[in-house]
Chains A and B, each alone.
Chain A
């Protein structure tokens, strides 16, 4: 199989995309973080925009930007990872059902409430009739979409793929995550999230999309080497699984320059990251991102965006660092994430 390059990137999150350059972060004192509003009208026709929920808007906006950067008009395939799908429209039509006592319902929100609405709307906008798939696999949704991308690239006819992750919050449904302890109960500032000693985290909405291609261009960010997902890993086997994954890719812990960790301040499950921080990656530059953009099922797409930027710009902004080690020229990055101790994902990227 030919190599896979990241040729265009774009993200929407509770932080501005410029955070990488200016390190100016937005601070929140809330448990549910909204993604920052964008100039959606600059990219999406108003008549299309009017019935789009946030996930669709964010997904299409990022997709068009990532394609524009890679100078690709129409990709050969569109792959989307989303854990929760279009929750806002689901909530809307369920509220309609209650209000109308299960009478007449507005069809739009029902039609658009499915998980694959984002992928479908992107395809409609781009008039792309290629392979279109949406993956809903909890916190490895984006990783699953990436795995499909790698499989699709084995086909000689596939040269460019649009792949991304997106999840939105909705007023009632996101709040339900408080009921089973996924969201913290005490007030917390996102910038202090990773020092938290309590259970739960802060939930957010975000999207990040990428143009992957088999051709390296002058704008390429990095090379995507491999992805692996695990439904569960016993803590005592975590390091071994990671070493096996790296060995499979003819590399080792020694070669890794930086590790991006999905630490989210949930005292019940952050020990997975601690194990690595104090173990095989203790002398590596450790990078976090959830203290800035929060937690959601597709947030590893943000980590992928961050890793791509790090490898292209060859620097790690201080605001993302979890330790004081300096990494002069990041060349190999491993992203590791899990949520609630399950659905572990590994992504390996190399610089060009």
Chain B
């Protein structure tokens, strides 16, 4: 697991108040929404803010969200390719 994967998991736990969850409990390919982690639309807003705040990535096309926020792996890939900090 890369540092970015771990960093992302830590940020998600903190930002989304997943109080009882450990980094090790989130699988890299686990769905973040729906059946997986069970995140909802308010969490999606938090993730958009997280991308911009921590990595300087501004999502211009809301339709991209579904693909990017599919799992930790897809988020990490997108960040690697687009990060400005």
A residues within 8 Å of B by Cβ? 46-47, 50-51, 100, 103-108, 111
B15 touches A106 (CB 8 A): yes
Residue of A nearest to B42 (CB): A108
- Consensus secondary structure, chain A interface: loop
B residues within 8 Å of A by Cβ? 15-20, 38, 42, 45-46, 49, 52-53
Smallest CB–CB gap between A45 and chain B, Å? 10
Extra inter-chain contacts (8) besides given A50-B16, A51-B17, A107-B45, CB under 8 Å: A46-B20, A47-B38, A51-B42, A103-B53, A104-B53, A106-B46, A106-B49, A107-B49
Q: Inside 8 A of B49's CB, which chain A residues have their CB?
A: 104-107
Smallest CB–CB gap between A36 and chain B, Å? 19
Q: Inside 8 A of A46's CB, which chain B residues have their CB?
A: 19-20
Q: Inside 8 A of B19's CB, which chain A residues have their CB?
A: 46, 50
Report the bound CA distance from A104 to B19 in whole Å: 23
Residue of B nearest to A105 (CB): B49
Q: List 5 A-B contacts (CB under 8 A).
A: A51-B42, A103-B53, A104-B49, A106-B15, A107-B45
Report the bound CA distance from A34 to B68 in whole Å: 42
Q: Inside 8 A of B38's CB, which chain A residues have their CB?
A: 47
Q: Inside 8 A of B53's CB, which chain A residues have their CB?
A: 100, 103-104
Q: Inside 8 A of B16's CB, which chain A residues have their CB?
A: 50-51
Report the bound CA distance from A50 to B19 in whole Å: 7
Q: Inside 8 A of A103's CB, which chain B residues have their CB?
A: 53
Residue of B nearest to A47 (CB): B38
Report the bound CA distance from A47 to B38 in whole Å: 8
Residue of A nearest to B20 (CB): A46
